[in-house]
Amino acid sequence: MRYWGYLALKLGAAGALLYGAGRVLFGLLPPPPPVRHIDLDPFGTDLRFTVLVMIYTILSAGVLWAILLDHRYRCRTCLCRLRMPLLTGSWTHVLIGRPRTEYICPYGHGTLKVEELQSTGLTEPDWQPHEDMWKELAKK
C-alpha cells in the first residue's frame, strides 16, 4: 500500500507542477488576433501556440515516463532504490537460462528480476520478497 501511495503522491505532485507550468507558459503568450472577427481555437491556427502545446505534451510525457521508470526500480517495502544489478543467464543459452537482471534492496527486503529477453511480449518484472533474515538466523 505504501508503494502505490508513494506513486500516487509523485504523480499528484508532478501533475500539480505541470499544471502550474502550463498555466504560466500559456498565460505568457499573447492572444492570437481574430480572423475576420471570429475567435478561432488557437490550436492548429496559431503556430506559436501549437508548437508550445507540442513541447508541453512531450515534456509532460517525459516526466510521466521518468516517474514510472524511477518507481519500477524501488523496493516495495522501504521505497529505496534497488541496487547491485546482477546479470544472470546467457544470450547464447536462452532455453537453459534466459538472460535477466536481478536487483536487490540494500536492506534485504526483496529481489526484482527483470527479463532482458522479451520474445513472448512484455514480461512484467518479478518481485520476490525475502523473509526476515533475523528470523532465519535465529532458527539455527
Q: Which residues bind Zn ion (CB under 5 A)?
A: 75, 77-78, 105, 107, 109
Q: Is 20 helix (H, G, I), strand (E, B) or coil?
A: helix
For Zn ion, the closer of residues 71 and 98 by Cβ is: 71
Please give the angle made by the CA atoms of 96, 101 and 102, to the nearest 5 degrees: 105
CB of 67 to Zn ion, least distance (A): 19
Q: What is the DSSP string of 46-65?
A: -HHHHHHHHHHHHHHHHHHH
For Zn ion, the closer of residues 105 and 112 by Cβ is: 105
For Zn ion, the closer of residues 52 and 82 by Cβ is: 82
CB-based contact 103:111 (threshold 8 Å): yes
CB of 131 to Zn ion, least distance (A): 13
CB of 78 to Zn ion, least distance (A): 3
Amino acid 105 reads C
For Zn ion, the closer of residues 77 and 101 by Cβ is: 77
